[in-house]
Amino acid sequence: MATRRTDIEALYARHREPLLLFLARRTADPQVALDLWAETFAHAAISRRRFRGTSDEESAGWLYAIARRRLALYYRRGHAERRMLDRLKLERTPAGPELLAEVERRAGLAALRVELAAALAELSPAVRGAVQLRVVEELPYAEVARRLNTSEQAARARVSRGLSALAELLDTATIREAVAR
Amino acid sequence: MTEPDPFDRRLDDFGARLSAASAVHAAGRRRARRSLTLAGGCAVAVAAVVAVVLSGGGGRLDAVAEARAALTPGGDILYMKSTTRVIDNNAHGGSAPQTTEQWSAVGPPRWRISQDVPRRAGRPPVKGHHENSYEHGTTRTYDSARDRMSVISGFSDRGSAARMPSLFGLGSAEPEADLRSMLADGTVTDEGEKQVGGRTVRRLVSRPRKSKRRPLRTLVYDVDPQTFAPIQATLSLTFPLTHPTRIAMRITVEAYRRIALDATSARLLEIPTTAHTSFRVRTVQQVRRDNARRRCEAPNALRVKRCPTQPHG
């Protein structure tokens, strides 16, 4: 049955856990995932009148689009927004270590690391090296280029290619998994 | 019947609160102003997770935080701990020293101040502390004794609410830069190097302008001669018109350091609450309306502009 436009409770009941685990796997940080998860549902509650879909699949896609927008803002700004929670007068409650551990366990973060390691192994050495230097060692692109004995433009392209390949791997798996539930 | 685990309990609890808040919001719903747009950021998101794997997978939060810091315009958090003592007060008795801790960051401006409540002479001791913060257009004021938080949203990052109240640097999150700027534009004068508590400081003095209405306010900043990091400040207030009242207080900096800003340290900028904290959430427009209504209802309301015309009896 399709989710009614105003039926935020049904949307929450259906997606509360999958969405939280989706966010945990995207951030590898249970506390941040909880913050983004709460903000996503608050956003959905506030803007649900604008949702024009009729099916459960459309409502799931709409909810995950909100979540991905929250994620993008989080990675750009370094903190989870709370504007929609503030508008609903819902304040953040602290999460205890038990809850954080349970989110981490249910999200399978340990397994995710293994999967990603395997995915990384499939990248070419040049691309993997560029990702390592830029993302982990936090070197500027000029230094990445120097170490790889290539141009800065080529170094940027390798990093971009590496991250894009991994993003594709993650996206198809996690989104399909989340929306299918 | 088994007790739900913390995970299910949290999800049940939030669901109930979301449902209730959503119903209240729907009742007084206004048109939403924002539109949803899909954003990219996938590569950046993946980068943080990749960092966990490539760095060995052990340091879950640290590796992610480091990757985030590298991929976002982070900067740092300035932390300062200071103690304020009244050193001269001929109008009232003394009070106990007050300890203040503050954390601030720029771009966008964010800050948090935590102050204990000093005991005043002849008064019973006061429990708890007060906290204030500003972040993304929202101010928060927390009273630990009552476990109560007041939240006001709708401010601008360019407005005065975004400026941290502080004697050092006139409310900016960067006291060193502000003190240099004040020296350059003549707001403070350089009185050269002095010896204070066994160390050499550079003394900057802000002298008062003569005013018939305002108290004379003299501020003496002692800063590190090289870095301009604040060491102590002395504020003297005199009220020459009323009677020779004089108040002087000294703020001594006990800790002053920078902390790398990442997702973990950013929580220092948030006021911690308990599971029982009560919240009062308003917008700045609501607060202004409430204040205006109170002013208009006051006995001297006729003096207040913009009050609705009162029928003359």
Q: Is the pLDDT of residue A107 over 70?
A: yes
Place B290 in a pLDDT band, splitting at 50, 70 and 90: confident
Place B211 in a pLDDT band, splitting at 50, 70 and 90: low
Q: Which of A105-109, B44-48, B90-94, B307-311 has the highest mean pLDDT?
A: A105-109
Contact of A98 with chain B, judged by CB distance below 8 Å, is answered with yes
How many CB atoms neighbour CB B4 within 10 A?
A: 12
| ipTM for this model | 0.72
Mind telling me how many Å the CA of A147 is from chain B's nearest CA? 18
Q: What is the mean pLDDT of residues B178-186?
A: 78
Write out chain A residues lying below 8 Å of B13, CB-based. Answer: 93
From residue A171, alpha-carbon distances to A165, B229, B259 in Å are: 10, 47, 34
pLDDT recorded at residue B81: 92
- Are B44 and A72 within 8 A, CB to CB? yes
CA B232 to chain centre: 20
Mind telling me how many Å the CA of A177 is from chain B's nearest CA? 17
Mind telling me how many Å the CA of B161 is from chain A's nearest CA? 17
Nearest CB neighbour to A47, from listed B6, B32, B261: B32
Question: How many residue pairs from chains A and B have C-beta atoms closer than 8 A?
Answer: 196
Between residues A34 and B88, the one the model is more confident about: A34
pLDDT recorded at residue A40: 93
Q: What would the pLDDT profile of B9-38 be if each residue is shown by its tens digit?
A: 888 888 888 887 877 776 665 433 332 222
Question: Cβ neighbours of residue B299 under 8 Å, at least 6 residues apart?
Answer: none
Between residues B95 and B16, the one the model is more confident about: B16
- Assign B152 to helix, strand or coil: strand
Q: What is the mean pLDDT of residues A141-163?
A: 85
Write out chain B residues lying below 8 Å of A75, CB-based. Answer: 41, 44-45, 48, 68, 71-72
Would you say A8 and A48 are in contact if contact means Cβ atoms under 8 Å apart? yes
pLDDT recorded at residue B309: 58
Between residues B171 and B53, the one the model is more confident about: B171
- Are A16 and B71 within 8 A, CB to CB? no
Whether omega for the bond prior to residue B108 falls within 30 degrees of 0, making it cis, is: yes
Between residues B72 and B83, the one the model is more confident about: B83
Tell me the residues of chain A between 5 and 34 that have a Cβ less than 8 Å away from chain B: 6, 8-9, 12-13, 16-17, 20, 25-29, 32, 34
